């Protein structure tokens, strides 16, 4: 992807994030274009991730008091975070979902045979997840637009949500910490912690 197009994609992702967090109903307008953008990026996405991209997620995971049994990686992309989660928690089942079919196809292709029994990838919309209420002990979002009502619905009581941005405020898909605190608090998440790790940031929120 040329640099001009890359900048345009980043600007569009940032614009969509800002609009949809403020007015979730508008997601139905932007879902198709954003999905198409990530479908185009899927073949090169894995190579664009650096090891430090996951520093805020790693820092947030270290704050968990309970080992999760079932984990949702929301906005999984090519599944790198899902694979890391499965390796960190060897007894956990991990489900990675993404609105982009091309991303999910790449995630399935790159999944090691040793993880196939515990990691599953699905095409799904974060605004309308195909899971029952209270399905997950932990939900992880790395550079992903949060849909707060759905996060509350699928997280068990006593479970946790991690919302991380790999480059902090420079991340195209980024929600400021004060917005996360306010919106997560409204839907029943308490004990919120804000973390900085490497160039990234994360918020850890527990549901009670």
Give tens-digit pLDDT for 1-50: 556 658 888 999 999 999 999 999 999 999 999 999 999 999 988 877 76
Residue 51 pLDDT grade (very low, low, confident, very high; cuts 50, 70, 90): low
CA end-to-end distance (rounded Å), the chain: 44
Q: What's the confidence (pLDDT) of residue 45?
A: 85
Q: CA dist 7 to 31, 161, 173, Å?
A: 19, 30, 13
pLDDT (tens digit per residue) in 129-176:
999 999 999 999 999 999 999 999 999 999 999 999 999 999 999 999
pTM here is 0.94
Contact 123, 22 (CB under 8 A): no
Classify residue 105 as exposed, middle or buried by CB count within 10 Å of its CB (0-12, 13-18, 19+).
middle
Q: Quote helix, strand, coil % in the chain, to nearest 5.
A: 45, 25, 25
CB 136 within 8 A of CB 70: yes
Q: Residue 59: how many CA atoms within 13 Å on its side-chain side?
A: 22
Looking at residue 206, its pLDDT comes to 96
Q: Other C-beta atoms within 10 Å of 66: how many?
A: 11
8 A C-beta contact, residue 158 and residue 3: no
pLDDT, one tens digit per residue, over 58-67 is 999 999 999 9
Indicate the domain borders of the chain.
3-207
Q: Write the burial class of residue 135 (CB in 10 Å: 0-12 exposed, 13-18 middle, 19+ buried).
A: middle
Task: For residue range 107-124, list pLDDT tens digits in order.
Answer: 999 999 999 999 999 999
- Looking at the domain covering 3-207, what would its CATH class be? alpha beta
Token duo for residue 96: 């990675």
- Could you tell me how many residues make up the chain? 208
Read off the tokens for 47.
Answer: 């190579």
- Other CB atoms closer than 10 Å to residue 119's CB: what's the count? 25
Strands 189-197, 200-207: pairing kind: antiparallel
């Amino acid at each position: 992807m040329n640099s001009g197009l890359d900048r345009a994609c980043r600007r569009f992702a940032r614009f969509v994030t800002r609009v949809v967090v403020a007015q979730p109903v508008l997601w139905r307008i932007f879902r198709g274009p954003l999905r198409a953008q990530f479908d185009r990026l899927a073949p090169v996405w894995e190579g664009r991730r650096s090891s430090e991209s996951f520093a805020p997620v790693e820092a947030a995971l270290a704050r968990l008091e309970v080992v999760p049994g079932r984990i949702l990686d929301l906005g999984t992309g090519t599944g790198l975070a899902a694979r890391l989660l499965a390796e960190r928690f060897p007894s956990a089942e991990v489900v990675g979902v993404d609105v982009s079919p091309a991303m999910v196809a790449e995630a399935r292709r790159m999944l090691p045979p040793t993880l196939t029994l515990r990691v599953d990838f699905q095409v799904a919309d974060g605004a309308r997840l195909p899971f029952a209420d209270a399905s997950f002990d932990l939900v992880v979002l790395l550079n992903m637009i949060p849909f707060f009502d759905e996060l509350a619905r699928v997280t068990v009581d006593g479970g946790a949500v991690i919302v991380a941005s790999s480059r902090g405020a420079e991340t195209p898909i980024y929600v400021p910490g004060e917005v996360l605190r306010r919106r997560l608090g409204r839907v029943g998440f308490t004990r919120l912690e804000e973390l900085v790790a490497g160039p990234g940031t994360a918020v850890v929120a527990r549901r009670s």
